[in-house]
Amino acid sequence: MDHEYDVVLVGSGIAGAVIAKTLTQAGKRVLLLEAGLAAGMALSPEPSYANYQRYLETFYSKANKATNGPYPDLPDAQSPDVLQIEAKTPYDEGYLVQNGPLPFASDCLRSPGGTTLHWLGNVPRMLPNDFQMKTLYGQGVDWPISYDDLKPWYEMAEYEIGVSGDVAAQVGPDMDRSNYGDDYVFPMKEIPQSYQDQVWMKNTENLSVSLYGKDYNVTCVSMPQGRNSIPNPAYRKTGIFWNDETKRLELAGDEPGKYEVVGAIWDQNTGNRCEGNASCVPICPVQAKYNALKTLKKSDHSKLDIATQAVVSKLLVNDTTGKLDGIEYKVYANPASPIYTTKVAKGKIYVLAAGALENAKILLSSNAANSSDQVGRNLMDHLVMLMWGLFPEKVYPYRGPGCTTYLPTFRDGEFRKDFAAWISPLDNWGWSWPTFAPGSDVSNGLAAGKFGKALRDSLADTVTRQALLHFECEQAPDPNNRITVSPQYTDLLGNYRPVIQYDASDYMRKSFEAAKKVGDQIFAANGIEDFTDYNPSDADYVTWKNRGYTFWGAGHIVGTHRMGSSPADSVVKPTQQTWDHDNLYLVGCGNMPTLGTSNPTLTMTALTFMAAEAILKQLEA
């Protein structure tokens, strides 16, 4: 690999895969550097099947079903892990150095395919008002682009991920048919809403709740998802391609009924429909759920070189030209050994797609792209407050995808001046998240002296009635929530580890109070007996007005190299080219100036298609 590529790309998650596919299909030569194992990069049938079965066996074998459990833990390219989050700061016991005052509660995966291997796959769009938080609500910043600017790119992202959903159902504050356009449909029909959702809806749809003296009408909406269902015959798009004449990336096709479902990477006939494994997080056994390897596989592999077990250590910035001269990376043979070979990759353009933590870490390690002093700052996540209880009747959880319905009611409103907005997914998997149920129900039953038929009956009676309601609260950007690097904290290859400083502001804490008030009313209307328990020993336990709340991470790691309209206060331009180095682009959730209440992957994918077009334009100029 001593020759020069058009593009050197770092990371094979969804952002990297979109860049690799789009650029190689446009005839550009790309080198992809991936820190994870070669085995995980297998795209041909037998090796990819064999590797994925190893993931699945590992998932089965582990007692705890956490997000990164099925996937290799690599000392040479560590991932954060939610199992390493502890109720104390500062500490340095996992990959992240957690300086607090609160521990950062989310993880991601450094592996071929990235975090899409364990993502849930919820893909609601952001709302138009989310792009104007400063102007409308005096919070955070405005985006340098509008919802309308992003709209055509959302359509590309929905094609690429293969979204199943009902556009007409997407109605709520700042959201209706006009967000999508009159004739727009998703590639596939909506994933059926769960039986449990239908029970929730009986008493929740059009429920009036009161909050701080104002009434709100609660509604329930089917969740758009990146998992396969039945192709929508009205969908008319057939592909994304670079138009060499117009110099535009275009979503092609105007022919109904042509959408082809994308199956498993080892067999197109596997995973053509979601089969109800109910394990989307951390692994879909049949790959009916989208993952980035599906996109990567569609690349023009005659134009794509992939180097795995290749961990980027430094960007080589030329102080005279202000451009990058290359990317230094360390290649390991054994992921648990400190032995490596250092190499340098050269291209006309460089793209970092390594995730919000790693992108910022690489930039900080290289003193690159940081004239604004914004690299690593404004680290955000959805702060997830959970409420759990027992329905009066059996609702049969632990079936179907993790979420098939959400409440849009508090995604937008004047209250955003005062406290954070949230989206409320209804959860189909019982109390598994907060209490590790139903294993904990077995141990609690034993502790209560139950065995035999009494134990079996008690599980049949209670586990089947478990309800879980989420509040995914939009964390506002805060420059002090940040990652830094320090020579004190390095990994086995001598690369930096992220040092995190993190807290939940009053704006967030008030949203927990508000969400709990709303949740109490929803529980009451459904006759749900509340078993929610926030404990001071929880990792992210916070207080507000003398009441305690616990939040969990959503795995939505966002905002460490934000996009803006000025080099003074942002890292990348709207094209996602860095302000400081015109041959360096950043892609991924790190570019998002604010988070909104959407799971960020869809929006990030839309942004990445925008970046791909900008990169192609620059290469052709």
Q: Which is nearer to other proteins, 197 or 381 (CB)?
A: 197
Q: Which is nearer to other proteins, 133 or 539 (CB)?
A: 539
Residue 594, φ and ψ in degrees, nearest 5: -140, 170
* Shortest spacing between CB 539 and other proteins, in angstroms: 13
Other CB atoms within a 10 A radius of the CB of residue 488 amount to: 10
Q: Which is nearer to other proteins, 429 or 549 (CB)?
A: 429
Q: Which is nearer to other proteins, 279 or 576 (CB)?
A: 279
Residue 577, φ and ψ in degrees, nearest 5: -75, 140
Q: Which is nearer to other proteins, 81 or 158 (CB)?
A: 81
* Shortest spacing between CB 462 and other proteins, in angstroms: 9
Q: Which is nearer to other proteins, 274 or 363 (CB)?
A: 274
C-alpha distances (whole Å) from 346 to each of 4, 6, 498 are 5, 9, 26
* Shortest spacing between CB 118 and other proteins, in angstroms: 12
Strand partners, 306: 32
Dihedral angle of Cα 572, 577, 581, 585, to the nearest 10 degrees: 100
In terms of Cα–Cα distance, which of 113, 121, 89 is closest to 102?
A: 89
* Shortest spacing between CB 91 and other proteins, in angstroms: 14
Query: Applying CB under 8 A, which residues contact other proteins?
Result: 56-57, 59-66, 69, 73, 81, 83-84, 192-195, 198, 229, 273-279, 283, 285-286, 394, 396-401, 404, 428-429, 438-439, 441-443, 446, 449, 451-457, 459-460, 463-464
* Shortest spacing between CB 163 and other proteins, in angstroms: 16
Q: Where are the alpha helices (DSSP H) in 217-354?
A: 292-297
* Shortest spacing between CB 435 and other proteins, in angstroms: 13
CA distance 309 to 321: 30
Task: Give the containing element (helix H, strand E) for 140.
Answer: none
* Shortest spacing between CB 195 and other proteins, in angstroms: 6
Maximal CA-CA distance, the chain: 78
**267 burial type by CB count under 10 A (0-12 exposed, 13-18 middle, 19+ buried):** middle
Other CB atoms within a 10 A radius of the CB of residue 155 amount to: 21
CA distance 217 to 231: 33
CA distance 305 to 32: 6
Q: Which is nearer to other proteins, 184 or 531 (CB)?
A: 531
* Shortest spacing between CB 338 and other proteins, in angstroms: 22
**545 burial type by CB count under 10 A (0-12 exposed, 13-18 middle, 19+ buried):** exposed
Q: Which is nearer to other proteins, 276 or 322 (CB)?
A: 276
